[in-house]
Amino acid sequence: MSIIKVIIPEFQVYTPTTVEPEGTKFYPFKLEDSEESYQAELADDFEIDTFNHFPLLLLPDRTLWEHANNYLLHKLESFNLPHSSTLSSIADSIKYFGNYCVDFKINYLVCTRKSNSPLRKYRRYLSDRILKRELSVSTVKSHMSNLVNFYRHLVNVEHISFGYPPWHDREAKVIINGQLKEVKTSDVLQAIKGGKSTARKREECTYEGHIIDGAELRPLDEDEQGILITALKQLNNIEMTFIFLIGLCTGARLQTILTLRYENFNHEPDAAVNEVVIYAGLTNKNGSGLVDSKADKDIAIYFPIELYQKIKIYLHSERAIKRRKKSVYKPTNVDFHYLFLSQQGHPFYISKADYNSKFYKKIPTGQTVTTFVCERLKPKLIELGFLGSFKFHDTRATFGMNIVNYGLENIDSENNIGRSIDLLFRFVKVRMNHNDLATTQQYLDFNQNQKIVKEAKVGWEKHLKSMLEITDA
């Protein structure tokens, strides 16, 4: 038996009261050793009283893990509420740590000297898993960061005292958006070694045919893009075709594409425009917040008018209407319907703002697209002669490189080429919604670096051949 995580689809926080609340659905009850009868009302101490998909941790005997669940509940008191996926990830970190303590018979509340600190023991255990390539450095750092915050709660909120500090805080200097800032970190986090820094990955990645843009991406060349379009056409899945075309033509991430709504395509643009802007993010220009973005950032997505009009035609097609009619959890306003639905009428991705998420035992987060890529698209790509690796997010890098390539072709080398490249750089940054200039720079460096690698490889192979000819004598 081990510690397990269970998800409560609709978690409500109540508090006992002696005053009967209006419309209560609870029967009176008595607390132990009390003469008073109590009822329950929604708690006022939390930022919200209902949280969808709240994780709870159960001990091996299937009782509630009090300290862990108190910490997760404490997160709901924050003004900046975590998303359910974030809270679930925190719960996973605590669960893995708890099971480690169970397996190795470690009391997570006891620390009498540095050597028996539960956090330090667990950090050494995870570091061994890094060496065995079972876990990445970033994953281990994420787990340890969650656990340090859990222990901060134990000390500062639960007022649990340890004979020896489970960890030590340290001041560190890091570069954030080009500025040197001091941050508080912990010795158990700083002790995690291995892997490469993001800056070094970016420096090396373009020579290896990749770009670091949220993940390691591979821009497709023109031939590969042609094969991809042909494969999608032959597979004849109109929803998937549009999803991939949006990625290639706008650079939007999957969570943004899959949370686009009917309202985003339900108006007729001016005849003179060549692109339509759609806004995404929690507090975007449109104010609806229905279309997700990475880290809830307010972004603009530029749709070529031809693609926009094709999607409008699809929305009014018999196929799309039939899927919307099958939708079980219909929004009150038809404009809020998701742009793309499965054959059963289910969304491919649930937006953070979707109040219907509580009805889903497992929230859709694009798994259908991943399955389509693995089971249908990749075999078809191989059949058509596609040799490289591929994942959906590569469409974003491909979009960025297409802008750079066509932009460079049109730069007039006789008239202030430096300013022209700077303008192109800024254009790519805006269209890709980059925060970090170093990310955008990779797109401008990519082709040049690939050319250097190719020339160096040809020169080295020629030199190697001349050396090996000695053996023929």
Share of the chain above pLDDT 70, in %: 85
- 70: nearest Cα among 41, 100, 101, 46: 46
Indicate whether 307 belongs to any domain.
yes
Domain check: are 182 and 246 in the same one?
A: no
Higher pLDDT, 466 or 220: 220
Task: Check whether 202 has a pLDDT greater than 60.
Answer: yes
Cα angle 162-148-69, degrees, rounded to a multiple of 5:
85
Q: What is the CA radius of gyration of the chain?
A: 27
Indicate whether 216 belongs to any domain.
no
Write down the pLDDT at residue 412.
59
Indicate whether 94 belongs to any domain.
no
Rounded to whole angstroms, the Cα distance separating 290 from 392 reads 22
For residue 365, what are the β-bridge partners? 349
What pLDDT, in 10s, does the model give residues 16-38?
666 665 655 555 555 556 666 65
Domain end residue (candidates: 343, 366, 389): 389
Kindly indicate the confidence band of residue 398, based on its pLDDT and cuts at 50, 70 and 90: very high
Domain end residue (candidates: 52, 85, 118): 85
Instruction: Give the least confident one: 39-48, 115-124, 371-380, 422-431.
Output: 39-48
Indicate whether 375 belongs to any domain.
yes
Close Cβ partners of 147 (under 8 Å, ≥ 6 residues apart): 93, 94, 97, 119, 122
Average pLDDT of the chain to the nearest whole number: 86
- Mean pLDDT throughout 95-113? 96
Domain check: are 261 and 157 in the same one?
A: no
Kindly indicate the confidence band of residue 47, based on its pLDDT and cuts at 50, 70 and 90: low
For residue 214, the one-letter residue type is: G
- Mean pLDDT throughout 262-274? 88
Domain check: are 268 and 313 in the same one?
A: yes
In which domain, by residue range, is 251 found? 221-389
Write down the pLDDT at residue 16.
66
Write down the pLDDT at residue 35.
63
Higher pLDDT, 403 or 12: 403
Task: Check whether 49 has a pLDDT greater than 90.
Answer: no
What pLDDT, in 10s, does the model give residues 122-169?
999 999 999 888 998 889 999 999 999 999 999 999 999 999 999 888
Domain check: are 8 and 152 in the same one?
A: no
Instruction: Give the least confident one: 124-128, 208-212, 232-236, 390-394.
Output: 208-212
- CB neighbours of residue 415 within 10 Å: 8
Write down the pLDDT at residue 415.
62
Domain check: are 258 and 368 in the same one?
A: yes
Q: Is 176 helix (H, G, I), strand (E, B) or coil?
A: strand
Indicate whether 91 belongs to any domain.
no
Task: Check whether 212 has a pLDDT greater than 80.
Answer: yes
Domain check: are 233 and 307 in the same one?
A: yes
Rounded to whole angstroms, the Cα distance separating 151 from 134 reads 25
Write down the pLDDT at residue 96.
97
Write down the pLDDT at residue 159.
94
Domain end residue (candidates: 361, 389, 417): 389
Indicate whether 336 belongs to any domain.
yes
Domains contained in the chain, number: 4
Write down the pLDDT at residue 36.
62
Domain check: are 309 and 405 in the same one?
A: no
Write down the pLDDT at residue 176.
58
Indicate whether 95 belongs to any domain.
no
What pLDDT, in 10s, does the model give residues 275-323?
999 999 977 666 568 899 998 889 999 999 999 999 999 999 999 999 9
Write down the pLDDT at residue 417.
59
Domain check: are 277 and 381 in the same one?
A: yes
Rounded to whole angstroms, the Cα distance separating 224 from 218 reads 11
Indicate whether 297 belongs to any domain.
yes
Domain check: are 13 and 57 in the same one?
A: yes
What pLDDT, in 10s, does the model give residues 232-260?
999 999 999 999 999 999 999 999 999 99
Higher pLDDT, 410 or 444: 444
Domain check: are 173 and 287 in the same one?
A: no
For residue 322, the one-letter residue type is: K
- Mean pLDDT throughout 373-402? 95
Domain check: are 187 and 225 in the same one?
A: no
Domain check: are 412 and 465 in the same one?
A: yes
Q: Is 182 helix (H, G, I), strand (E, B) or coil?
A: strand
- Mean pLDDT throughout 356-372? 89
Q: Is 246 exposed, middle or buried (0-12, 13-18, 19+ CB in 10 A)?
A: buried
User: Half-sphere exposure (CA, 13 Å, Cβ side) for 279?
Assistant: 11
